[in-house]
């Protein structure tokens, strides 16, 4: 299984920069960047914070995809 990440799309739809989302979630812009670029998988707490800022569910942002 692999993790599908929709964070960048939801962030852009909300009209936020990485820096704005990071500030609202209490992390650095680099953290948001590394999550969006699939370098870093956020903790449950951080995923919940980011989802709350974007007013979406964690499942909207991240989902598991079966490898074919």
Concatenate the DSSP letters of all residues of 10-53 into one string. HHHHTT--HHHHHHHHTS-HHHHHHHHTTS-PPPHHHHHHHHHH
pLDDT above 80: residue 68? no
Total structural domains within the chain: 1
What CATH number is given to the structural domain containing 41? 1.10.260.40
Residue 28 lies in a domain: yes
Interval 12-41: pLDDT, tens: 999 999 999 999 999 999 999 999 999 999
Residue 9 has a pLDDT of 98
Residue 68 lies in a domain: no
Q: What is the mean pLDDT of the chain?
A: 95
Q: Which residue(s) pair with 5 in the sheet? A: 62
Contact of 19 with 29, CB cutoff 8 Å: yes
Residue 66 lies in a domain: no
Q: Report helix angle 29-36 to 44-54, nearest 10.
A: 100
| Planar angle of CA 18, 36, 45, nearest 5 degrees | 85
What is the domain range of residue 25?
2-59
Residue 35 lies in a domain: yes
């Amino acid at each position: 299984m692999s993790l599908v990440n929709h964070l960048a799309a939801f962030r852009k739809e909300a009209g936020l920069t990485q820096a704005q989302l990071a500030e609202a979630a209490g992390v650095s812009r680099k953290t948001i960047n590394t999550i969006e670029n699939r370098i870093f998988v956020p903790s449950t707490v951080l995923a919940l914070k980011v989802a709350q800022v974007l007013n979406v569910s964690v499942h909207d942002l991240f989902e598991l995809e079966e490898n074919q």
